[in-house]
Structure 1
Amino acid sequence: MQDLQTPPSAEARQWAMLCHFAAFFGLVFPFGNLLGPLVVWQIKRDLDPFVDAQGKEAVNFQISVTLAGLACVPLMLILIGFPLLALVTVGALVLTIIAGIKANEGQAYRYPFCWRPIL
């Protein structure tokens, strides 16, 4: 476990940021928002405890976003799903950018409204 007094190295901060920003693979590949952070976290989690913690947080958030998006699909039949999906998308975009910036600053970020199945 990393000492709480010692800030993470520049390399650890960069990989933690990439764990969050890898979610933008979802703009290119189906479920890339989930697979991108998962792959980066799995490859670099042993580098530093900070990378491990932020990688878990990024994957957990993307699991939550994916489930929320899938829940919006049947709600589209009664039209409420369209604005809900837009809200989920914009919220995920904004929170992912904030998380990446905070991780690059060396601050551990915890997403709000996040189910955390991976501890």
Structure 2
Amino acid sequence: MEVINHTAKKKDTNLLMVTHLLQLATVFTGFGGLIAPLIVWATKKDDIQGMDYHGKTIINFQISIILLALVSIPLIFALGLGILMLIVIGVVSVVLPIINALRATNGEDPLLWLTFEFLKY
């Protein structure tokens, strides 16, 4: 008699990649880069191998980017440091999801630049 394990998680690196790329929705919608990956993570974290870790990483990264952007606003009046900080945040928030999408496709762990740990891994 064959035993079927219904609790086994399947490996879907393409969905992990898409979840990382959904962060780029922030460029067009503002908070879409947080909401879209949050929905995918919440619905698929128990089904896809690695989705829980990647999803938590994405949520932590997006919350960190939002908080760093808010902190940089008052720093604009302090010798323009906030403007420089916003430029760095903007570049990192576009480049890092692309890098992490490629890493997810290859089965590697995501990079955690500018990421504070709000959700435990």
Please tell me the TM-score bracket, short chain as reference: 0.7 to 0.9
- Which residue identity lines up with residue 52 of structure 1 in the other structure? D
* Larger Rg, first or second structure (1 or 2): 2
Matched with 2:94 is 93
> 8 Å contact 2:96–2:111 — kept in the other structure?
no
CA deviations 1:39-59 (Å, max 9, x no partner) are: 121122121231111111111
Corresponding residue number in structure 1 for 2:22: 22
Could you tell me which residue of structure 2 aligns to residue 105 of structure 1? 106
Query: Post-superposition, which runs of at least 4 consecutive aligned residues in structure 1 deviate over 3 A?
Result: none
Output one character per residue of 1:29-81: Cα deviation in whole Å (capped at 9) or x when no partner. Answer: 12222112211211221212311111111111111111111111111223221
Unaligned runs of 5+ in 1: 1-7
Superposition TM-score, scaled by structure 1 size? 0.83
Q: Which deviates further from its counterpart, 27-36 or 17-26?
A: 27-36
| Seq. identity, % | 29
Give the counterpart letter for 1:117 in structure 2.
Answer: F
The answer to which structure has the higher helix fraction is 1
* 1:26 shift after superposition: 0.7
